[in-house]
Amino acid sequence: MEGDGPEAPECFVKTLSESRFAFAVALVAGMIFYFSTRAVYQDFDYTYRIAVALLNGHVGLSGRPSSRLNEFVPAGGNYYSVFPLGAVLANIPVAFLQRIGMIQNWPAHQLATALAAGCAYFFSRLSYVAELSCPRRVLVALFPIFGTWTWCNLGLGGAWQIALGFAILGQVASLYYTLLRRNPLLAGIWFAVALGNRTELLLTAPIYLYYFWLSQPSADTRGRRATAERTRGRIWIDLAQFVAVPALLLLCTAAYNWVRFGGVADFGYTRIPGILKEPGYQQGLFSLNAIRWNAYEMLFRGMIDLQDFPYLRPHAFGCSIFLASPFLFLLFREGGKHKTACWTAIGILTLALWCHGNPGGWQFSYRYGMTFLPWMFLLILENGGRKVTTAEAALFVVSVAINAMATYEFLWTDMIHP
């Protein structure tokens, strides 16, 4: 017990230092993101409009929305969003600000900036799962935002992109409270944030549960039945704490769907007027036939050469994630404590998304791939060394340059056309 006294202040100082460092990284990331982007999709505020309606006691809109908002589904005289309940609930704080008169319209640019900064904060905190030099810690914390297609797509500021931003933030925060600062309740809350915005992330829930089960100390070696019983009890308490909020969200989502469309699993997507007539949905919303198209857009689609600056122009509907972010080639290095879990998560999410009839619509690279980034981050974080290598620095610079170019062309010019 005598050793407990000096260790507690030391642990507190270390945690405080890590928090300050992460806050500084987040502040820099937020400033860069804010001044380099503009929310050209701000008018596509589906989730915000339903959040405002919820505060007024309604789950849909009574009046016909703008024709641009073609993903509102008419049913029973009202119009409903096809976004899951979690994506709507994430906008409740913003809707409350509108209700008390502090804002007039959806602050998509500010919200996207806050998400970018929040992601950078938790990526920085999660980086302490490994021993790294300060420069490498900064590099790996910033790469998911500025070295990938997240920069451009989140910067567009539409409801689709904001939902993906919440999905990244929820996952990386949940991983932090699972792997580093073990707190099953907070991990579950953040997982619910991710799940509520991207329903396919439910497929990764067993990985978190596995870590909470695995991280319990072994009681069998202690030779005491009472200790073993307490340990088993602690396991089930932790698992219950993690599951509680996501399970509640799923139940509420089921009720939300039932009220709107009469089915607990009906999100209304197939009810969008004309959606099933589109080429990608001829075999249904999800189909194995869609894998080839999605795989091509995610892995093999190139860019268009230009004679003048900036010399490259992305296609309007995707390009290879490895062309958009050469930094991702570092995924294939050997090593990494959590590599099995990471590749499992990436694999099951990829398969689920490849079966979706549409690879993402108007986007830079493969925007759905934003959901992979927390797992890709963890792989690259752990399969490298303590210090930044020349290869890492070069790939990071090239990746940032490519995504800066795409952000400029998509958000600040009219160069990109369907």
User: What pLDDT is recorded for position 154?
Assistant: 98
User: What pLDDT is recorded for position 2?
Assistant: 37
pLDDT along the chain (418 residues), means of 10: 44 68 96 97 96 94 89 91 96 95 94 98 96 95 98 97 98 97 96 97 97 65 50 85 97 96 90 83 86 93 84 87 97 93 97 92 93 97 94 98 96 84
User: What pLDDT is recorded for position 13?
Assistant: 46
User: What pLDDT is recorded for position 22?
Assistant: 95
User: What pLDDT is recorded for position 349?
Assistant: 97
User: What pLDDT is recorded for position 217?
Assistant: 47
User: What pLDDT is recorded for position 282?
Assistant: 80
3-state SS, one letter per residue, for the chain: CCCHHHHHHHHHHHHHHHHHHHHHHHHHHHHHHHHHCCCCCCCCCHHHHHHHHHHCCCCCECCCCCCCCCCEEEECCEEEECCCHHHHHCCHHHHHHHHCCCCCCCCHHHHHHHHHHHHHHHHHHHHHHCCCCHHHHHHHHHHHHHCCCHHHHHHHCCHHHHHHHHHHHHHHHHHHHHHHCCCHHHHHHHHHHHHHHCHHHHHHHHHHHHHHHHCCCCCHHHCCHHHHHHHHHHHHHHHHHHHHHHHHHHHHHHHHHHHHHCCCCCCCHHHCCCHHHCHHHCCCCECHHHHHHHHHHHHHCCEEECCCCCCEEECCECCCHHHHCHHHHHHHCCCCCCHHHHHHHHHHHHHHHHCECCCCCCECCCHHHHHHHHHHHHHHHHCCCCCCCHHHHHHHHHHHHHHHHHHHHHHHCCCCCC
